[in-house]
Amino acid sequence: MLIPELNEITNGNQLHIARAISWVENHTDGYWELLKSTIGNTPVIGITGPPGAGKSTLVNSLVQSMSKAGKQVAILAVDPSSPFNLGSLLGDRLRMQNLYMLPNVYIRSLSSRGSLGGLTTSIIEVVEVLKLAPFDYIIIETVGVGQSEIEIAGIADTTVVVSVPESGDEIQTLKSGIMEIADIFVVNKADREGAATFASHLKKLAHERAVKNWETPVILTQAINNTGLDELIERIDSHFLISSKNAQKRIKLLAEKAFKLIQSQRMSNLSITQIESDIENFKNGNNFNLFSFVENYFM
């Protein structure tokens, strides 16, 4: 395998970027040294929301608009895992086929590998590799598994929550879950009945949870015909500018990422197979206490 060269990555060579990401995902010897060279401040945008909200169509149209403006964009499309080999189902390759022809757009499929939050465990490392390259935006489109997808808030600088007018009946459920993480609300398919009413409810919710310098905007879009995209890009840029100057938020975001990396490293030597073997050796007939067993791993 060709070793990914740092200067090729920083120059935007997509072949070397792809190989560097594979290095990180597979924990190939030398990957940690590569990661230690990453220092970047590229805006990371998380696009999340329930299935059927039109996230992929929105990302497709959003990136095309950015590309036309001369921006370089990386997309990480997190797909549901195959139940057989935990591989990406590559649905994004069908949804985003128009983007593959654009030289200033890079697309990478990542398997969620069964992660509860809908994000692959190596997502932080992959994002940092992309920050080495000259991208203007890094967009993460998540699987869309509902309220468990709040994990994106600990990775993205700006979290865009996409919904549709039909979500209006679920406003209370959304209020206590995924909507709490939104930096920007998008009501997609805004030509549908009830869009204005739903947007009004969201604006009231946003006003209740407004913080200093930022009240979560509610943007109506029709991704399929590019309506509302200019306003969305403007709001993304505004939010990143404000949040990048918010030292407390930056520290919290870095702490979230550091915690996940430390957790991952400490668990790296454990496997289900090893734990099964340890349980077999630990058990004494039918007398098995789960907590006494787990305590051994705390030492």
What element of type H or E holds 140?
A: strand 137-141
Does residue 285 register a pLDDT over 70? no
Of 218, 221, 165, 162, nearest in space to 193 by CA: 165
Rounded to the nearest 5 percent, the helix, strand and coil shares of the chain are 50, 15, 35
Average pLDDT over residues 66-95: 69
Average pLDDT over residues 255-279: 84
Is residue 47 domain-resident? yes
Average pLDDT, the chain: 83
The model's confidence at residue 201, banded by pLDDT at 50, 70 and 90, is confident
The model's confidence at residue 180, banded by pLDDT at 50, 70 and 90, is confident
Note down the domain range covering 203.
40-245
Does residue 277 register a pLDDT over 90? no
Does residue 272 register a pLDDT over 50? yes
Q: Looking at residue 119, what is its pLDDT?
A: 67
Q: Looking at residue 82, what is its pLDDT?
A: 45
Q: Where are the beta strands (DSSP E) in 150-217?
A: 158-163, 184-187
Q: Looking at residue 85, what is its pLDDT?
A: 42
The model's confidence at residue 284, banded by pLDDT at 50, 70 and 90, is low
Is residue 3 domain-resident? no
Chain segment 183-193, per-residue pLDDT in tens: 999 999 999 99
Is residue 79 domain-resident? yes
Q: Looking at residue 144, what is its pLDDT?
A: 64
Q: How many CB atoms lie within 10 A of CB 48?
A: 30
Out of 146-150, 216-220, 272-276, give the one with best mean pLDDT. 216-220
Number of compact structural domains in the chain? 1
Q: Looking at residue 149, what is its pLDDT?
A: 61
pTM attached to this predicted model: 0.85
CATH number of residue 83's parent domain: 3.40.50.300
Is residue 228 domain-resident? yes
Is residue 208 domain-resident? yes
Is residue 95 domain-resident? yes
Q: Looking at residue 257, what is its pLDDT?
A: 86
